[in-house]
């Protein structure tokens, strides 16, 4: 299934033939992608699927509109958190009953960290990474402020993480695929380090789920959270997910104990009795409309071979990097990602002192990547809708912008240039 691109000098016709032979190519038609765009931002906001568009119209007009309150049972709204959670579970190496969909990634991370720390009450140290996705660090900061000064949040550069994990460590909180560089943490290895020290591991899969083969149970992960609106194509602000390994279910608890985490929410009792299993990680009512769009995205993804997707993402990213090295050299692009495409997820970044202006020029010409402060241009490689020729064309446009230096004249060049 691997789409190997051995020769980066492949011309466009050869890439066009690769697209024609790509077993994942038919998935592109299932998405709504404006004809004029090369969308390299599925890692930030996945595009609309045809099925999500249709499903949303039904959910709004037929379910909410006609069934009204009866939709909770008739339309299956009530079951969404665990029904959809189990579907996502199949993409991340979870068993049924280990994943629920709810809240935002940030809120879920708070719950996961609190639950994990609750399982290691005698330990007061949390290890994470410098430059982790900011909200993860902000949530740890909030947890520490709230849980008390006894907690020590030890934020280290990647190369020092292993040393930081010690006998005081309750939890290690890391993002599997880095949001800028795409660098992948070896899940099994880090998990073993944490467990050897008696600590637990919490993974943020926001940039992994739906793009990179991820095996939570195979790597003995304890908890995980992740985002619904990136590679899972759930729509803007789609709800997130949270995973807890079965071995922790009986003992775990978390402070956001709302009625959907109750053993019997409609008994309407005053006393909180946690639901069995992963459902005790739920809190309030799930955003049904947003979750419905996410379910359509996930259902589509489950039709694809996850290994083939992951391989194609690697091939697309590798092609971009090698074409860029050939075509765009001498213009100050600095690779901010591992050199080996297999060591990164489905996103890749380049630093450039005029990164912001160049990205705005790319966007104006229909290549939609994004900019991440201070100077990173980030490109995503979504295997279900991207073509090899898209990568070729994107690099040609990037080359043209760099060679013509058109970005220097643009309205964006001054205010965001990093000097």
Residue 418, classed as helix, strand or coil, is coil
Cβ contacts of 45 within 8 Å, gap of 6 or more: 229, 230, 236
Question: Tokens standing for 2?
Answer: 């691997």
Identify which of residues 268 and 419 has a Cβ nearer to its own copies in the complex: 268
Range 224-230 contact pairs with CB under 8 angstroms and sequence separation of 24 or more: 224/92, 224/94, 224/112, 225/105, 225/108, 225/109, 225/112, 226/88, 226/92, 226/105, 227/105, 228/101, 228/290, 228/294, 228/297, 229/45, 229/46, 229/294, 230/42, 230/43, 230/44, 230/45, 230/46, 230/206
Residue 343, classed as helix, strand or coil, is helix
Question: Tokens standing for 78?
Answer: 């009530």
Q: Minimum distance between the CB of residue 151 and its own copies, rounded to whole angstroms?
A: 12
Q: Which among 192, 193, 226, 191 has a CA at the least distance from the CA of 212? A: 226
Identify which of residues 295 and 318 has a Cβ nearer to its own copies in the complex: 295
Write the DSSP assignment of 393-416 as a string of letters. Answer: HHHHHHHHHHHHTGGGGSTTHHHH
Q: Minimum distance between the CB of residue 66 and its own copies, rounded to whole angstroms?
A: 6
Angle between helices 50-57 and 288-302 (to 10 degrees): 150
Angle between helices 388-404 and 12-21 (to 10 degrees): 150
Identify which of residues 93 and 210 has a Cβ nearer to its own copies in the complex: 210
Identify which of residues 3 and 45 has a Cβ nearer to its own copies in the complex: 45
Identify which of residues 225 and 341 has a Cβ nearer to its own copies in the complex: 225
Cβ contacts of 331 within 8 Å, gap of 6 or more: 352, 402, 403
Q: Minimum distance between the CB of residue 170 and its own copies, rounded to whole angstroms?
A: 15
Identify which of residues 60 and 96 has a Cβ nearer to its own copies in the complex: 60
Identify which of residues 25 and 289 has a Cβ nearer to its own copies in the complex: 289
Q: Minimum distance between the CB of residue 305 and its own copies, rounded to whole angstroms?
A: 25
Q: Minimum distance between the CB of residue 20 and its own copies, rounded to whole angstroms?
A: 26
Q: Minimum distance between the CB of residue 179 and its own copies, rounded to whole angstroms?
A: 9
Catalytic residues: 133, 204, 229-230, 378
Q: Minimum distance between the CB of residue 127 and its own copies, rounded to whole angstroms?
A: 14
Angle between helices 80-92 and 288-302 (to 10 degrees): 30
């Amino acid at each position: 299934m691997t789409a190997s691109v051995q020769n980066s000098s492949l011309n466009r016709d050869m890439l066009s033939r690769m697209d024609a032979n790509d077993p994942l190519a038919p998935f592109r038609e299932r998405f709504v992608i404006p004809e004029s765009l090369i969308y390299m931002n599925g890692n930030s906001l996945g595009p609309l699927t045809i099925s999500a568009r249709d499903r949303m119209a039904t959910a709004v007009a037929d379910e909410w509109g006609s069934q009204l309150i009866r939709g909770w049972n008739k339309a299956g709204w009530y079951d969404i958190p665990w029904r959809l959670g189990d579907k996502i579970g199949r993409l991340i190496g979870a068993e049924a009953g280990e994943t629920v969909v709810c809240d935002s990634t940030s809120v879920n991370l708070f719950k996961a960290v609190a639950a994990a720390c609750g399982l290691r009450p005698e330990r007061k140290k949390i290890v994470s990474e410098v430059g982790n996705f900011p909200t993860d660090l902000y949530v740890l900061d909030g947890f520490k402020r709230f849980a008390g000064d006894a907690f020590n949040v030890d934020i280290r550069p990647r190369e020092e993480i292993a040393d930081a994990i010690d006998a005081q460590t309750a939890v290690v909180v890391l993002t599997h695929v880095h949001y800028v560089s795409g660098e992948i943490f070896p899940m099994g290895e880090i998990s073993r380090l944490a467990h050897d020290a008696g600590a637990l591991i919490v993974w943020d899969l926001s940039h992994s789920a739906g793009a990179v083969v991820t095996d939570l149970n195979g790597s003995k992960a304890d908890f995980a959270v992740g985002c619904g609106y990136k590679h899972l194509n759930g729509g803007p602000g789609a709800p997130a997910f949270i995973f807890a390994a079965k071995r922790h279910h009986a003992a775990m608890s978390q402070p956001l104990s709302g009625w959907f985490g109750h053993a019997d929410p409609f008994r309407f009792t005053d006393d909180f009795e946690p639901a069995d299993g992963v459902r005790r990680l739920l809190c309030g009512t799930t955003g049904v409309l947003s979750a419905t769009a996410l379910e359509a995205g996930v259902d589509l993804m489950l039709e694809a071979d996850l290994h083939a997707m992951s391989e194609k993402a690697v091939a697309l990213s590798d092609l971009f990097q090698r074409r860029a090295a050939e075509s765009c050299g001498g213009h100050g692009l600095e690779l901010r990602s591992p050199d080996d495409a297999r060591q990164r997820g489905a996103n890749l970044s380049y630093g450039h002192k005029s990164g912001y202006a160049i990205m705005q020029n790319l966007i104006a010409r229909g290549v939609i990547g994004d900019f991440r402060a201070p100077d990173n241009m980030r490109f995503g490689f979504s295997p279900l809708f991207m073509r090899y020729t898209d990568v070729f064309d994107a690099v040609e446009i990037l080359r043209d912008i760099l060679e013509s230096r058109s970005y220097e004249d643009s309205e964006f060049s001054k205010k965001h240039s990093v000097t």
